[in-house]
Amino acid sequence: MTITTHATVFDIHFLQEQICAQLSLRDIRRCCLVSKDFYHNFSPYLYRTIPIHRKSTFNKFHRPESLAALAKYRDQVTHVTCEFAQIWKTLLDHQCHNLVTLISARLPKRNSNAEKNKHQTRYISDLIEVNPRLYSVQLGQFLFEPEVVSRFCSVLRSHNQIRELSIVYPTSCAPCDSLRLLTWSSSRLEKLCLNVKSIKSSANEISDLQVQEYLKLTGSKDPIFSLKELSIPVNLHGHEPGAFIRFLEHTPNIERFVAPMFAYNYQIEGLLSVMQTGMTNIQHLNVDSIGVQGSLVARMISICRNLKSFVSSSRQNGINFVAGALLEHHRESLEEVHMVGAGRMTSLQVLSFLTECPKLQIFDAMCSTEKQSPDLEMMTRQRIGDAILSMTDINAAVSTTPWACTGLKVLKLRYAVSVRAHQDDEEEQEENEESNEWVLPKILYERIAELTELETLWLGRVEPAFPSTDSFILALRVGRGDPVPELDLESRQPESESEIRQYEIGTLNMSKALLAWRSLSKLRQLHLRGLKNFIDKNAVKEARRSWKNLDWIWYY
């Protein structure tokens, strides 16, 4: 039986709820331009998400016509992202009571804005209280005054729906008593992040009577917190580490843990004890703020079961013990490893992460910026702090140990090339052209080409010191056809044609690498450090044809 209908394409707005759930703000704006009916029915959904990142946009939002539309569509507003905390009072005044997420990040380059924002904190408690659906709150500013903190914590404890709270304001000074009150008020939260600058507020160790007072806030004598993610990378002064440990005894469900700033070895003993007896579900561990001996961090790693991610600290001695513990206890489960600044990690350990961790998806062992050293020889050898993969090690293991991390998505790595050979005999040099891979060894770029899931590739070249650096740099410039000042040519001449020939071989080798990387069809970021002089632009253009999703390529 055929059912007839008089509906037309212009009646599509009757399905607006289902349609708008799958559309972005940009798509909804375009729908509003189709017809008058479309505009009338789709425009309310433009207020479902309010993103404000610029002062000019914030000013437009407070125009009379915009505020009138906000009052009309206030029930549609569910997600607000705004760096300007003055919007909190605006939302209160216009009775926006259906918020689900509220994000008010910090503008680090606008100190005056931060000062204005923190004095709006008195409105955030009221806004949370009148929004029963509110699930996530992220604040980049907070006024740590006793009355404000007490009121905020009271609302936090009584709210039934809120599960995520983040206060990231590193320049703000928060008394340890306030941080303690915030942590003990998070019994219903699943995620808590407090990243502020703490100040000492008590010289005495926390007493049992004080612990009982905090327990009363939870309404139970032996509460079990729901926290699954806890991030408090703050400096705990005096006896505060002990108070923090007493709190951790009630958080057995933590899976992602960012440790506080422990600067002394004795402070970490209590943490080791509670991790062994209570916090047994940690799968993601971040010790970036810990400055104790690496052997103690290795003990933390050995206590955890099946770690999936790990973030190291550049302030730790004995980082080789940390890397060894990760490989010994968690090689089968590791998915994400950040060893930035772990310069004392051995080359064999770097290689072991790549060859022994089959689930590894992110391996980051390369700093984002280059530190300059006053020692010219050190500048040519390595970046201070980064772990370096030696080509001697990778060549020794290539025939017996392939890379196990075939699903790697992010690779940030520095490698050390072998000492360049300097032959004056052109015939002898031609015979060794294939083996003279001092720019980018074939075995390395072929291994990278096999990582077909790779999306981010940062590769840094570390070259041993060269006796006649100045003349070699000049030879490179001449070989590239770059203009060279006459004074430079008169004062420094290339010592031999072999140096220019070496440059040509290096450029050819780098071009082969770029063409081999055409297999990386998902590549989005390519960062090549120390390889600019050997990049052939034609080879880059050829390779980019296969990188459909490439966002940027950077080499120097």
Q: How many percent of the chain have pLDDT more than 90? A: 35
Q: Given a cut of 90, is residue 433 above it in pLDDT?
A: no
Joined together, the tokens standing for residue 511 give 């071009």
pLDDT score of 251: 93
Least confidently predicted of 93-102, 450-459, 464-473? 464-473
Contact 467, 535 (CB under 8 A): no
Mean pLDDT in residue range 72-89: 88
Q: Which of helix, strand or coil describes residue 253?
A: coil
Q: Write down how long the chain is.
A: 556
DSSP element (H, E) containing 505: helix 497-516
Q: Given a cut of 80, is residue 495 above it in pLDDT?
A: no
pLDDT score of 10: 54
Least confidently predicted of 49-63, 101-115, 207-221? 101-115
pTM for this predicted structure: 0.81
Least confidently predicted of 77-81, 305-309, 391-395? 391-395
Q: Given a cut of 60, is residue 447 above it in pLDDT?
A: yes
Q: Given a cut of 70, is residue 121 above it in pLDDT?
A: yes
Alpha-carbon dihedral sign for residues 542, 546, 550, 553:
negative
Q: Given a cut of 60, is residue 424 above it in pLDDT?
A: no
Q: Given a cut of 60, is residue 27 above it in pLDDT?
A: yes
Q: Report which of 169, 253, 235 is spatially closest to residue 199, judged by C-alpha positions.
A: 235
Contact 100, 65 (CB under 8 A): no
Check residue 318 and give left, alpha or beta (phi > 0: left; psi -120 to 50: alpha).
left
Mean pLDDT in residue range 396-408: 79
Binned at pLDDT 50, 70 and 90, residue 267 comes out as confident
Q: What is the pLDDT of residues 206-246, one digit of tens each?
A: 777 888 888 888 888 889 999 999 999 988 877 788 888 88
The residue that leads in pLDDT, 58 or 37, is 58
Distance CA 47, CA 59 (A): 16
Mean pLDDT in residue range 105-115: 62
Q: Report which of 203, 139, 128 is spatially closest to residue 162, judged by C-alpha positions.
A: 128
Highest mean pLDDT among 96-110, 330-344, 485-499: 330-344
Check residue 52 and give left, alpha or beta (phi > 0: left; psi -120 to 50: alpha).
beta
Contact 207, 180 (CB under 8 A): no
Least confidently predicted of 18-22, 33-37, 358-362? 18-22
pLDDT score of 436: 58
Q: Given a cut of 60, is residue 8 above it in pLDDT?
A: no
Distance CA 107, CA 116 (A): 11
Residue where the block lists tokens 């000019």: 56
Distance CA 365, CA 350 (A): 8
Integer Rg of the chain from CA: 29
Q: Given a cut of 50, is residue 466 above it in pLDDT?
A: no
Q: How many percent of the chain have pLDDT more than 70? A: 80
Mean pLDDT in residue range 89-110: 84
pLDDT score of 323: 92
Phi, psi of 513 (to 5 degrees): -65, -45
pLDDT score of 378: 42
Binned at pLDDT 50, 70 and 90, residue 478 comes out as very low
Distance CA 281, CA 274 (A): 12
Q: Which residue(s) pair with 229 in the sheet? A: 191, 256
Strands 388-390 and 410-416: parallel
